[in-house]
Amino acid sequence: MGDLAAEKHAKYILLVEKRKDDVESVLMEHLRINGAYWGLTTLDILGKLEAVEQERVVSWVMSCQHESGGFGGSEGHDPHVLYTLSAIQILALFDKIDVLDIDKVSSYIASLQNEDGSFSGDIWGEIDTRFSYVAICSLALLHRLDRINVEKAVKYIISCKNLDGGFGCTPGAESHAGQIFCCIGALAITGSLHYVDKDLLGWWLCERQVKSGGLNGRPEKLPDVCYSWWVLSSLIMIDRVHWIDKEKLVKFILDCQDTENGGISDRPDDAVDVFHTYFGVAGLSLLEYPGLKAIDPAYALPVDVVNRIFLR
């Protein structure tokens, strides 16, 4: 295990942004705006956000906005809440939320709430607690939570709670660490964590740590660096993060680095990508790894950005 190769990771991210002609870049184009959020947030945590041309990024983000107010994954793509949150988060990083027509964006998101409190991802009606989180997080960052029925939104999330204290995509669906992050994050932002059985869920979450020190997302599955984020942030929000072995997890994440070319992969010696680089670095930040900016577990943005929005 070496130290965190911060310089190399920053270089890797800047390089990926420029690469457009290989298969990966083309296949990822539908979620380019998510990729931009992962990359930029990683750079910020590493203290390297100045390397980015802010104005170019902001105007590109705005070019992904659809007339409905929502954002697409790339220019000309259909809008969806998943991409809308990334757009808002990128603007928040640069303290540029004011370039948005906030009422228009909020109306788009609010229009996707259903009668039972759940959220559709877009006009085509797929329902998932991921979209509840995304909608709630977006509106909170815009100071527009009052545009939706928060109580119903919370009730719906609670209706997705399972025997293990975790949450699934819809009522009855199996618990999954990514889904748990979304539900716990949404409950945290709406001050509703009292609905969570913290000891039961905490036990399930801490048992995600496997022998190698890495975390899996469901029982009897392989560990993966991305769960460093989903599991850790959930454990932090419910105040049970002391139930895992943090040092072993730090080691697992560092073992997944490509120390030669930068980037972090899902498991040691696999191919790196921006997604896992973000979750690895963000995970290390949640583990208080020295030299990294602190990241907020609910809004998934650096703490100083979140404080600027809510505590000023």
Partner 1 sequence: MHGRPRKSATPIDESASALKAAKIRSLQSQFLQNHHNKIYTKEALEINAKLIEANPEFMTAWNYRKLAFEHNLSSQSEAEKGDSDHVKSIIDEELRVVENALRKNFKSYGAWHHRKWVVSKGNSSTERELRLLNLFQKQDTRNFHAWNYRRFIAGLKSISEEKELQFTTDMINDNFSNYSAWHNRSVLLSHLLDKKVEGYFPKEIFLTEEYEFVRNAVFTDPDDQSGWFYHLWLLDQTIKLDMPVLASFWPPPGSDLNVPRDLDANKATFPVILYFNEPVEGVSCHTVTVQTEYDIYNNITWSPLSTNKFGCAHAWVTHMGIPHEELDSSKTYQVKISSEHYQGITSLSSVPLSEPWSFAFTVSICHDLQPAEGQSLGRLSLTDANFCTIDSNSNRTALLNSAFQFTNDDEQPTSSKWKSEIIASEIAQYRELLSWAECKIGKLTLARLLVAYDAMITGTEFTPSIAEEVLQLCSELMKLDPPHYQYYKDEYSSILLKQVTSSKESLLKYCWQYKEPTSLNITSPMCLRLNSLSLSRIGSIERLLWVQSLDLSHNQLHSIEGLEALQLLSCLNLSHNKLGSFMALDPLRFLKSLRMLDISYNEIGAHTVDTKRYLCSSPLSHTVAFDKKFKEFANGDAKVMDFWEPFSIFGGLNLIQLDIVGNAAVDERFVFLLVKLLPALKWLDGEELH
Closer to partner 1 at the Cβ: 52 or 299?
299
Q: Work out the angle between the directed axes of helices 81-93 and 54-63 (0-180°, nearest 10).
A: 160
Report residue 114 as tokens: 């259903």
We find the least distance from the C-beta atom of residue 40 to partner 1, in angstroms, to be 20
**Which of 93, 169, 177, 183 touches partner 1 (CB under 8 A)?**
169
Taking CB under 8 A as the criterion, the residue among 70, 168, 262, 280 binding partner 1 is 168
- Regarding 15 and contact with partner 1 (CB under 8 A), the answer is no
Find the shortest distance in angstroms from Cβ 55 to partner 1.
Answer: 26
**CB 22 → partner 1: shortest distance, Å?**
5
| Residue 282 found at the interface with partner 1 (CB under 8 A) | no
Least distance in Å: CB of 69 to partner 1? 17
The 3-state DSSP class for residue 119 equals: strand
Q: Pick the binder of partner 1 from 22, 50, 67, 115 (CB under 8 A).
A: 22
Rounded distance between C-alpha atoms, residue 295 and residue 300, angstroms:
6
d(CA 268, CA 13): 19
**Complete DSSP assignment for 188-202:** HHTT-GGGS-HHHHH
Segment 228-267, which members bind partner 1 (CB under 8 A)? 236-239, 241-245, 248, 258, 261, 265-267
Told to check if 302 binds partner 1 by CB under 8 A, we report no
Residue 291 CB neighbour total at 10 angstroms = 12
Check residue 273 for interaction with partner 1 (CB under 8 A).
yes
Contact stretch for partner 1 (CB under 8 A) within 57-65, 87-95, 105-113, 171-179: 171-179
Q: Which of 148, 272, 301, 305 binds partner 1 (CB under 8 A)?
A: 272
Q: How far apart are CA 155 and CA 297, in angstroms?
A: 22
Distance, CA of 135 to CA of 137 (rounded, Å): 6
CB atoms within 10 A of CB 185: 24
- How many residues touch partner 1 under the rule CB under 8 A: the total is 89
Q: Segment 32-91, which members bind partner 1 (CB under 8 A)?
A: 72-73, 76-78, 80
Q: Which residues contact 62 (CB under 8 A, 6 or more apart)?
A: 99
Q: Which of residues 116-145 bind partner 1 (CB under 8 A)?
A: 122, 124-126, 128, 140, 145
Long-range CB contacts for residues 116-123, cutoff 8 Å, separation at least 24: 116/152, 116/156, 117/149, 117/151, 117/152, 117/153, 117/154, 117/155, 117/156, 117/157, 118/153, 118/156, 118/170, 119/81, 119/153, 121/80, 121/81, 121/82, 122/70, 122/78, 122/79, 122/80, 122/81
Comparison of 55 and 143: residue with beta carbon closer to partner 1: 143
Query: What is the three-class DSSP state of 268?
Result: coil
Which of positions 201-220 make contact with partner 1 (CB under 8 A)? 202-204, 206-207, 209, 213, 218-220
Could you say whether residue 174 binds partner 1 (CB under 8 A)? yes
Binding piece for partner 1, criterion CB under 8 A, among 36-44, 53-61, 84-92, 169-177: 169-177
CB nearer to partner 1: give 17 or 296: 296
Q: Is 10 an interacting residue with respect to partner 1 (CB under 8 A)?
A: no
